[in-house]
Amino acid sequence: MQGVPAVEVTSACGYIGAMSNASPEPATIPLLPILIAPHPVLKARARRVITSDNDAIRDLIPRMFAAMYNAPGIGLAAPQVGLSLRMAVVDIAENEKRNPIVLVNPEIIASSQELSVREEGCLSLPNMFAEVTRPARVKVRFEDESGVKRELEADGLLATCLQHEIDHLDGVLFVDHISALKRNMIMRKLAKEQRLKP
Ligand code: ZN
């Protein structure tokens, strides 16, 4: 996929209803706010994207990339912006080169026996990190932004990122993969930081 707008997204047909009443000048759509844990949408299993979602998805994709790049992050799932839909955007931008991937209805169809441990963070748990053990390689089946069915085999950071984003679609956060003790510590620290936020 090419030509994804970086940060500033302009569109005449805003995803937010209020934007449609804007002046004839193309409006700069505000960045999508990212939900912070704990939040019920982040814990819910998202529903599959169906054909009638197409218009909403088309508007949503550039806005999700904009929010992700702005954060900055390497992946963002729709539930993180309050939409309980099975879709996510990913760009691990290796060597500073952008490689945006849109995942609609993604599923892991194979994973390696071999595991890898990697430090993970999440835009919904800002400034919190923990080492998470996951399969080192995965094969993911998904639809792209045009509805074309695709498969992607990944290892390294991309494999971790894909599993992390697909977890979001099932209401699972990276802290659900670590001990209750560590998870509670992180959630308390996060709550405290959020309370202290100006
Ligand atoms: Zn996340």
Q: Write down the domain spans for the chain.
A: 8-196
Pick from 49, 140, 139, 55: nearest CA to 87: 49
Place of tokens 């932004």: 145
pTM of the full structure = 0.85
Asked if 193 is an active-site residue, the reply is no
The pLDDT, as a whole number, for residue 59 is: 93
What is the largest distance, in Å, between two alpha-carbon atoms of the chain? 56
Q: How far is CA 3 from CA 59, 74, 82, in A?
A: 14, 17, 25
Phi, psi of 106 (to 5 degrees): -75, 145
In whole angstroms, give the CA distance from residue 159 to residue 139. 8
User: 87 or 11: which carries more pLDDT confidence?
Assistant: 87
One CATH from 3.30.365.10, 1.10.10.10, 3.90.45.10, 3.40.640.10 for 8-196: 3.90.45.10
55 Cα: distance to centroid of ligand 1 (angstroms)? 25
Helix or strand (DSSP H, E) at 42 = helix 40-43
Contact 26, 12 (CB under 8 A): yes
The pLDDT, as a whole number, for residue 26 is: 55
122 Cα: distance to centroid of ligand 1 (angstroms)? 4
The pLDDT, as a whole number, for residue 179 is: 98
pLDDT in tens, 65-81: 999 999 999 999 999 99
Q: How many CA atoms lie within 13 A of 56 on its CB side?
A: 14
Position 3 confidence tier, pLDDT thresholds 50, 70, 90:
very low
179 Cα: distance to centroid of ligand 1 (angstroms)? 18
Task: Report whether pLDDT(106) > 70.
Answer: yes
